[in-house]
Structure 1
């Protein structure tokens, strides 16, 4: 059973006098991702098919290059309102120090209003390995070979 935790430094970013940022938190004891919140001066209307950048009001510092943060959609927003991440999954590298902004797209048929403090995505932290790329003439054989895109069944 893995009991290890990492320490992630958080810097709140605020424009003007108001502190609109919220520190991410885990909604349940078994949650893999911590919720990220919208940090907005005013409501943001996301029209069907529209892509937006939603600021979170925070920046992070990861402990080392072997850890990255990944931003995932919240399933409830996708299911109920059609809001998804326009980039699929956001990757936050260990050397990035800017504000985390969530790239969203409205895949639904109606306008969606995002308000300050709304939970808009979730962030998870995972180990990463950096590859050493070696160019070769041939790759090892497997049963699957070059079969892809449904080659193992639906």
Structure 2
């Protein structure tokens, strides 16, 4: 199997004097697909059940054209604490240069606290293909055709 070239993503700390103590996104094990990203909070954030918060990371990035960075929940945070992402997966586009902020939601029945340096999401790098759409009057038939949700059973 031939290894694919790794895209270079440039990371900028927006306030290195304040946030230089936080690690850059990184894979936590050799086989990890996602890079954990940390909260750059100035103080603890208490999230009541159902609360939504946009959490800063203190980072901006330059993603090469033809790639995206998906923002996904961390399974441990979601399963053990009930904290997930509002929109998942989120997408950071190659032309975005603003601060990466993570939209968290507390789906648990208890108040959850997010602290500075907590690993709050994971980032997955992926290729992007911009499709060419062609309007048509008909589509080819398939065995499934219009079968939607639950069409193969529960």
Please give the TM-score of this superposition, normalised by the length of structure 2.
0.94
Bigger mean CA offset, 20-29 vs 71-80? 20-29
For the residue of structure 2 that corresponds to 1:124, the secondary structure is strand
Deviation at 1:3, TM superposition (A): 2.1
For the residue of structure 2 that corresponds to 1:26, the secondary structure is coil
For the residue of structure 2 that corresponds to 1:133, the secondary structure is coil
- What corresponds to 1:49 in structure 2? 50
- What corresponds to 2:148 in structure 1? 148
Distance 1:104 1:56 in 2: 12
Distance 1:92 1:31 in 2: 20
User: Paired residues, what number?
Assistant: 152
Distance 1:22 1:56 in 2: 10
Distance 2:128 2:34 in 1: 17
Q: Which runs of 5+ in 2 are unaligned?
A: none
Deviation at 1:2, TM superposition (A): 4.8
- What corresponds to 2:133 in structure 1? 133
Q: Which runs of 5+ in 1 are unaligned?
A: none
- What corresponds to 1:19 in structure 2? 19
Distance 1:88 1:59 in 2: 19
Please give the TM-score of this superposition, normalised by the length of structure 1.
0.94
Q: Structure 1 residues 107 and 2, CA, compared in 2 at 3 Å: closer, same or farther?
A: farther
After TM superposition, what 4+ stretches of structure 1 lie above 3 angstroms from structure 2?
Answer: none
Deviation at 1:8, TM superposition (A): 0.5
Q: Structure 1 residues 2 and 93, CA, compared in 2 at 3 Å: closer, same or farther?
A: farther
Distance 2:36 2:19 in 1: 18
- What corresponds to 1:120 in structure 2? 120
